[in-house]
Amino acid sequence: MKIMAGLLAAGTSSRMGKNKAFLPIDEKVLVDFSLSALQSIANEDVFIITGQHHKEFASKLPQRNLLFNSQYSSGMASSIVVAAQHAQDSSYDALLIHLADLPSVVDDDIRQILAEFSKNPKQVVASRRDPMDPSSLAPPCIFPRDFFPQLLSLTGDQGAKSLLEELRAQSLPLTFPWQDVDDESSYKAWVSSKIN
């Protein structure tokens, strides 16, 4: 089975005021954590969806596959559409969607999602934002090819959440609490958690 990973990194980082993907943490940068979590998927099948900061990604990660989202300002759905279109055009069997600002996800989480998906490659598998609530669906998540048309029809800034709910995705708890880095305070909290 051929699985593509789409790492969404096209946001404008408006709340942060600068490209958060390259914020330093522990001799790494933020996006390194998300890329590290995807090591179960071959490098040639991992694509970073970029937007406003495309040139910075191209210069700092020249060895990585980049897909430019020209509609990045319209919201997260446009990045999912870019990823799904590439997955469909390149004959992938499934698309795993992950976020560049979600450093709490580790490789074991992705392995668990892939293992659950392999049991039934027709089902959608997602993570739980709240480990005790199976309905708190969130990325990383994986969609079989049959659902690419629904991904391609997404609009706005809601991402795939409504689609995950509509499809009643199977959900799995993550190893660590679900924590994204959206602003200065969440960045400082994450840095502090890595130091302590």
Residue 130: give the domain boundaries.
3-195
pLDDT tens digits, residue range 153-183?
A: 999 887 888 899 999 898 998 888 777 787 7
Q: Which helix (H) or strand (E) holds 94?
A: strand 94-99
Those residues with Cβ within 8 angstroms of residue 152's Cβ, 6 or more apart along the chain or in another chain: 81, 84, 85, 88
pLDDT tens digits, 94-138:
999 999 999 989 999 999 999 999 999 999 999 998 888 888 899
Number of domains in the chain: 1
87-101 pLDDT per residue, tens: 999 999 999 999 999
Q: CA-CA distances (angstroms) from residue 55 to 35, 59, 70?
A: 18, 6, 13
Which alpha helices (DSSP H) does the chain contain, by range?
30-37, 54-60, 76-89, 107-119, 148-152, 161-166, 184-195
Does residue 195 have a pLDDT over 60?
Answer: no
Indicate the DSSP class of residue 83: H
Q: What is the pTM of this model?
A: 0.91
Contact between 146 and 122 (Cβ < 8 Å):
yes
Question: Do strands 94-99 and 137-144 pair parallel, antiparallel, or not at all (unpaired)?
Answer: antiparallel
pLDDT attached to residue 176: 81
Q: What is the CATH number of the domain that holds 81?
A: 3.90.550.10
